Amino acid sequence: MNFKNHDIISIYDFSKEDILYILKTAKKMEKRSNPSLLKNNIMATLFFEPSTRTRLSFIAAMEQLGGKVTGFANSKITSIKKGETLWDTAKMVEQYADLIVIRHHLEGSARLAAEASSKPVINGGDGSNQHPTQTLLDLYTIQKSKDTLNNLHVGILGDLKYGRTVHSLAIALSHFNPIFYFISPDALKMPRNYITELREKGIRIYETPNLLSVSKKLDILYVTRIQQERFPDPLEYEKYKGVYRLDSSLTKYVKKDLKIMHPLPRIDEIDKSLDNTPHALYFEQAANGIPVRKALISLVLGKIR
């Protein structure tokens, strides 16, 4: 794929080769990157939903490459508050920036912004749908820690219904012949459209509410929080909050080289007692957002190939 001017909206937009190319570019960026590569470029961050890692690591990536940043982290202080549409907002911002990164609570919002803007748009998370740059940094983290993406036993635990990162991750990993263990309460299972698609690709999938029934098989355990903000009924959230609480006692029931990942923020699903074990990979995972986002920004701006 020629990445120049390409929107990054969904993990479905990338072939296996594209994904591997982005990871290879991120590795080069981590080793060494040119601090003035983006010196004449401006990135706009339009964040309609809260974020720590995605927004700040995009900003850090841009600034470390010499670029400038504009945008907002709170749409209440913009003309959206007066009724301006997302379409018009994206149309305006393309006049002020070379690249737009957007996070929004509505599924499909990043695609809409990309249709409005002639400048490349990167999806920083749209509702329960997709979070493709998180997926790319997740893959980068797995590859770095396991030396491969192929044939891994991957457990994905928590809110698999509303957690957008797990949807993108399952689809991306399906290029690499994983065996999946989807661990969740019945009401928060992976949506059936993803299960059907994965099974059609020949991927083996086990679904269970019980982590300990599969924990010894896992190479990677990807934990997610219960996504309070996406539950239509707050009483339903009350039923499931705190349903999984992993702590250092888990280490007796896993392989020595199991790595535990989490897109963060965590609430109570991973206790601090796991942080200093060799299994914890989640902070390193968050740090990997910088080289991966440096690679993506530079590729879509056509500054590297």
Chain positions contacting ligand CP, by CB under 6 A: 51-54, 125, 134, 263-265
- Return the number of the residue (89 or 227) whose C-beta is nearest ligand CP: 227
Compute, in degrees rounded to 10, the torsion defined by CA atoms 75, 80, 82, 87.
180
Shortest reach from residue 206's CB to ligand CP, in Å: 26
Closer CB to ligand CP, 156 or 214, in the complex: 156
Catalytic residue among 6, 55, 103, 164: 103
Q: Known catalytic residue: 68?
A: no
* Amino acid sitting at position 268: D
Q: How many CB atoms lie within 10 A of CB 271?
A: 14
- The CB density around residue 162, as the number of other CB atoms within 10 Å, is 21
- Residue 82 among the catalytic residues: yes
Residue 305 falls in the annotated catalytic set? no
Question: Catalytic: which of 6, 25, 45, 54?
Answer: 54
Rounded to a whole number of angstroms, the minimum distance from the CB of residue 292 to ligand CP is 12
CB 176 within 8 A of CB 203: no
Q: Which of 32, 76, 82, 252 is catalytic?
A: 82
Give whole-number Cα distances, 192 to 161, 166, 197, 246, 254, in Å.
9, 13, 8, 26, 28
Least distance to ligand CP, CB of residue 285, Å: 9
In the complex, least distance from residue 289 CB atom to ligand CP, rounded to whole angstroms: 8
Q: Which is nearer to ligand CP, 45 or 89 (CB)?
A: 45
Q: Per residue in 46-67, is it b (16+ CB within 10 Å) or e — as a string? A: bbbbebebbbebbbebbebbeb
The neighbouring-strand residues paired with 47 are 103
Contact present, 173 and 198 (Cβ < 8 Å)? no
Instruction: Assess whether 53 carries a catalytic annotation.
Output: yes
Residue type, 202: G
Active site residue 131: yes
CB 14 within 8 A of CB 284: no
Give me the least distance between CB of 238 and ligand CP, in Å please. Answer: 22
Q: Which runs of consecutive H residues, i.e. helices, occur in the chain?
A: 16-31, 53-64, 86-93, 109-116, 132-146, 164-173, 192-200, 234-240, 282-287, 289-300
User: Quick one: 125 or 132, whose CB is closer to ligand CP?
Assistant: 125
Nearer to ligand CP, 51 or 174 (CB): 51
The catalytic site residues sit at 53-54, 82, 103, 131
